[in-house]
Amino acid sequence: MKDRTWIELSRAAISANLKNFRALLSPKTLLTAVIKSNAYGHGLLETAELAHKAGADLFGVNSLEEAKLLRAKYPEFKILIMGEVPGLAERTSEVSDPNFWIIVSRTEEVRILTNCKPSPQIHLKVDTGMARLGFFGADLERTFSEIKSEGLRLDGIATHFASTEDVLEQKYSKEQMKSFSEAILLAEKFGFKNLVKHACASASTMLFPEAHYDLVRVGISLYGLWPSLQTRLSLHLSGKKDFNLSPVLSWKTRIVHIKTVPEDSFVGYGSTYQTSAPTRIAVVPVGYYEGLDRKLSNNGVMLVKGKRAKILGRICMNMTMLDITHIHDAEIGDVVTILGKDREEEISADDHANWTYTINYEVTTRISESVPKKIAE
């Protein structure tokens, strides 16, 4: 075993999470496994393989680059491209794929895609309150009118919720749902019927069965993580107490050096930690380059032999020091758990998020692509 650090992905966990989501959906609703951004740090191709085997209907990505990497391995699988494609007009040969479902915001893009041979599916994004991609109101009406008058094609219509994860009461999301229904009616008024309609990400899929429409786009919870504590509480309060998620990722490293330093020694850059007693220190070969947040300096723990070991001093670019004074049997070569379970102890992406003032999404997504992935069957 020569890896300095690695990720283990649980096939059983991803299957269980997908199965739990499938159970929330009507049989006609498609389940998209959102694996953009290196599958939230889990590894694009590794996660694609797991999600494909576990029965996802589509892959959801942000970029055309990601879609092409997947296409090389899955010649006919449906891939939803959710971000904008810069320079689309010059990339028609790359997007000419009948199983690419591309979300666009403007008539110009609809025109380019309609003229592709073969043409991908074209889904129009509607902005119902995110102020990101898509249009609403007069701009949306003008877009429909242009698409109609030029005889262009539309296959789908989509929106995205802005704050489902952030609240317990869902007034804003309810308004977004209403706006989306209006946009659908407007599309129908212009003669665009039988569009594939979609709105939900993880939280909204769990909380708003009425918004599932034809397809849902599940990202964070595919990986066994809750979109937020509010979402978890809301689902619980709504009576779905048995819905559970299993974390897919464990992040590991191993001890490469051990030493004992005397009382009053300083540890690491900036000498930000001083020992108050003789201290046994383990060095692990993971730092902020590998994606360990530097805000975990003097402020986080890893697991060694099922026990919690505090991070001492500042996290370095490629190394971190741990206090293993109380873990007498720790040796060079021992596996250290950064995220995941070791015996009775567990450190979750949510723990890291709480310690570093961010969200679990960012914790896993920041794990460097360079960290090797292994599949745990």
Ligand X SMILES: *Cc1c(COP(=O)(O)O)cnc(C)c1O
The binding site for substrate comprises 132, 317
Active site residue 68: no
Minimal distance, residue 325 CB to ligand X, in Å: 40
User: In the bound complex, which residue of the shown chain has the CB atom lying closest to ligand X?
Assistant: 219
44: exposed, middle or buried (Cβ count in 10 Å: 0-12, 13-18, 19+): buried
The residue from 195, 201, 302, 312 that contacts ligand X (CB under 6 A) is 201
Residue with tokens 């309150």: 129
Dihedral pair phi/psi, residue 60, rounded to 5°: -115, 130
Question: Is residue 219 within the footprint of ligand X (CB under 6 A)?
Answer: yes
Active site residue 36: yes
Among the listed residues 189, 240, 259, 269, the single catalytic one is 269
My answer on whether omega of the bond before 118 falls inside 30° of 0, hence cis, is yes
The residue from 106, 160, 197, 314 that contacts ligand X (CB under 6 A) is 160
- Joined together, the tokens standing for residue 66 give 């990601």
Minimal distance, residue 290 CB to ligand X, in Å: 23
Question: Is residue 353 within the footprint of ligand X (CB under 6 A)?
Answer: no
Nearer to ligand X, 273 or 361 (CB): 361
Cα–Cα distances (Å) from 168 to 80, 134, 231, in that order, read 29, 26, 7
Minimal distance, residue 241 CB to ligand X, in Å: 21
Nearer to ligand X, 54 or 312 (CB): 54
Sequence-ordered alpha helix ranges (H) in 115-256: 137-149, 171-189, 202-207, 229-237
The residue from 14, 82, 113, 353 that contacts ligand X (CB under 6 A) is 82
Radius of gyration of the chain (CA): 24
Nearer to ligand X, 217 or 305 (CB): 217
Residue with tokens 């383990």: 282
By CB under 6 A, how many residues form the interface with ligand X?
11
Question: Is residue 220 within the footprint of ligand X (CB under 6 A)?
Answer: yes
Nearer to ligand X, 82 or 113 (CB): 82
CB 51 within 8 A of CB 22: no
Nearer to ligand X, 7 or 199 (CB): 199
CB 321 within 8 A of CB 289: no
CB 118 within 8 A of CB 96: yes
| 362: Cα within 13 Å, side-chain hemisphere | 11
Restricting to residues 278-307, name those near ligand X by CB under 6 A.
none
The residue from 7, 218, 296, 353 that contacts ligand X (CB under 6 A) is 218
Q: Taking contact as CB under 6 A, which single stretch among the options 20-28, 212-220, 309-317, 346-354 is the one that binds ligand X?
A: 212-220
d(CA 311, CA 41): 22
Q: Which residues are catalytic?
A: 36, 269
- Contact residues for ligand X, defined by CB under 6 A: 34, 36, 82, 160, 201-202, 217-220, 227
